[in-house]
Amino acid sequence: MSRTGPGRQGPNRMLDEFARVMTDAAGAAQGVRREMETVFRAQGERLLNQMDLVQREEFEAVRDMAVKARTENEALKKRLADLEARMAGTGDAN
């Protein structure tokens, strides 16, 4: 004979209720984690903005300009040295 009274349903109902509570708690914990990540990210961005740091894109743009300027400077040095050597070879003095 199977028992269908409250004694049989009691433990199952308690386990079901416990599982539901644990599932709800896990969902709430994930929500708290996402909220904390958002808060920490916002605080970090605020702190970095207050420190007046340059962003990576700006840094890389200035670095690229410096590399280009250095290359142009080296080319101009060579051109100047060539012109000076040519002038020294002709013996012209102005």
pLDDT tens per residue, range 36-82: 999 999 999 899 888 888 889 999 999 999 999 999 999 999 999 99
Q: How far is CA 71 from CA 4, 77, 79, in A?
A: 89, 10, 12
Q: What is the pLDDT of residues 3-14, one digit of tens each?
A: 444 445 677 888
Q: How far apart are CA 6 and CA 86, in angstroms?
A: 110
Instruction: State the pLDDT at residue 35.
Output: 95
How far apart are the two ends of the chain, measured CA to CA in Å?
125
pTM across the whole model: 0.45
Q: How confident is the model at residue 1 (pLDDT cuts 50, 70, 90)?
A: very low
Q: How far apart are CA 9 and CA 65, in angstroms?
A: 76
